């Protein structure tokens, strides 16, 4: 790979320079914020707002996404980051972004990751901005201690103040699916399973009791509601559980890929209820796509996670619940 050269920029009076293996100590702020914008759209739901991979997605992925904050700057060099972004990482859920991001965009996000997380261990990426759909994020302030791990989610309700209890309720209803799936403060704590996965909830009410407090839920939530499928065989029931545990995060519970995370990904996950697509795909092709993954997409190879029987169970469930798969 050729040396990584950051384009010359004059914004802010700082000129970025050519280099091989190292970054300038101080980045042009406009370039850094451009990298942040790409990261916040493309990378945060696996690698985390703070680059530490403490996300719900990470708990579903084997091997887990890289924790940039634990990486050593001495070996986590620019060429390595760019190469992984361009080529992906076989055997993991890390796809190639060469068909999604331009070369300058790849260099911007790589520089951002290296400076923001590997070097400076910055506490967050300021994802919760009005531009990203988070007006007045401070209204969630009561939940912040649970998102950061300052207060353990496992702390008994009777040991919480009234304000802390309100914050915990808010955290569990609106924040936990992105900020934490287990207990950030106490390893081995309670596994806070939540469904649906489509968040955030907009205009969440602090005071209204359910269900009024949840009437402003994201429209993506409709695609993560549990499905009731009658007459399933044991194999299909196994496939349903495997689907929910491994596939629904991106493809949605209903298989459409129209949930919150699915709509972030480009290309979007396949809609497995679409007759135009499903009518043209065979069972063998579907098995191959699950086992080997799909190049230039976010679909990883599952062969190191699921065995052949489990993959066949998922395909059986897809055929039963979403669209009949031809042999």
User: What is the tens place of the pLDDT at every residue in 263-276?
Assistant: 777 788 999 999 99
Residues pairing with 326 in the sheet: 282
CA distance 314 to 53: 27
Residues pairing with 282 in the sheet: 326
The whole-number pLDDT of residue 56 equals 67
Which H/E stretch holds residue 311? helix 308-321
The whole-number pLDDT of residue 85 equals 94
Same fold, 11-119 and 223-321: yes
Mean pLDDT of the chain: 77
The whole-number pLDDT of residue 104 equals 94
The whole-number pLDDT of residue 126 equals 67
Lowest mean pLDDT among 16-30, 134-148, 169-183, 283-297: 16-30
Alpha helix segments (H runs only) across 142-293: 144-148, 162-170, 176-179, 234-246, 248-251, 260-264, 275-278, 283-292
Which residues make Cβ contacts (< 8 Å) with residue 285, sequence separation at least 6? Answer: none
State the CB neighbour count (10 A cutoff) for residue 310: 17
State the CB neighbour count (10 A cutoff) for residue 161: 8
End-to-end CA distance of the chain: 43
CATH of 11-119, picked from 3.10.350.10, 3.30.43.10, 1.10.760.10, 3.30.465.10, is 1.10.760.10
Q: Where are the domains of the chain?
A: 11-119, 138-194, 223-321
**Residue in this structure with the two tokens 């260099």, named with its chain if needed:** 107
**Residue in this structure with the two tokens 């989610």, named with its chain if needed:** 153
The percent of residues in the chain predicted with pLDDT above 90, rounded, is: 34
pLDDT at 124 over 80: no
Which residues make Cβ contacts (< 8 Å) with residue 68, sequence separation at least 6? Answer: 47, 51, 52, 53, 76, 113, 117, 118
pTM given for the model: 0.53
CATH topology of domain 223-321: Cytochrome Bc1 Complex; Chain D, domain 2 (1.10.760)
Average pLDDT over residues 63-79: 86
């Amino acid at each position: 790979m050729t040396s990584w050269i950051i384009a010359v920029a004059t914004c802010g009076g700082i000129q970025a320079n050519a280099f091989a293996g190292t970054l300038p100590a101080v980045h042009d702020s406009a370039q850094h914020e451009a990298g942040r914008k790409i990261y916040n759209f493309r990378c945060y739901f696996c690698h985390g707002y703070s680059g530490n991979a403490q996300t719900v997605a990470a708990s579903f992925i084997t091997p887990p996404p890289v924790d940039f904050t634990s990486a050593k700057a001495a070996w986590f060099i620019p060429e390595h980051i760019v190469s992984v972004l361009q080529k992906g990482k076989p055997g993991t859920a890390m796809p190639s972004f060469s068909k999604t991001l331009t070369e300058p965009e790849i260099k911007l996000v790589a520089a951002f990751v290296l400076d923001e997380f590997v070097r400076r261990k910055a506490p967050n990426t300021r994802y919760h901005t009005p531009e990203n759909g988070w007006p007045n994020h401070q209204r969630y302030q009561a939940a912040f201690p649970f998102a950061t791990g300052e207060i353990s989610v496992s702390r008994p309700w009777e040991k919480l103040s009234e304000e802390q209890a309100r914050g915990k309720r808010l955290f569990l209803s609106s924040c936990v699916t992105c900020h934490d799936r287990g207990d950030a403060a106490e390893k081995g704590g309670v596994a806070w399973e939540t469904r649906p996965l489509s968040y955030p909830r907009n205009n969440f009410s602090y005071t209204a009791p359910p269900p009024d407090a949840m009437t402003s839920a994201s429209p993506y939530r409709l695609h993560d509601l549990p499905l009731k499928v009658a007459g399933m065989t044991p194999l299909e029931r196994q496939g349903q559980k495997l689907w929910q545990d491994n596939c629904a995060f991106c493809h949605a519970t209903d298989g459409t890929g129209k949930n919150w995370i699915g709509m972030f990904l480009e290309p979007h996950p396949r809609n497995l209820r679409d007759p135009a697509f499903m009518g043209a795909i065979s069972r063998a092709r579907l098995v191959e796509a699950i086992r080997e993954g799909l190049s230039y997409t976010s679909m990883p190879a599952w062969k190191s996670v699921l065995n052949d029987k489990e993959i066949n169970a998922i395909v059986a469930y897809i055929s039963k619940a979403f669209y009949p798969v031809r042999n």
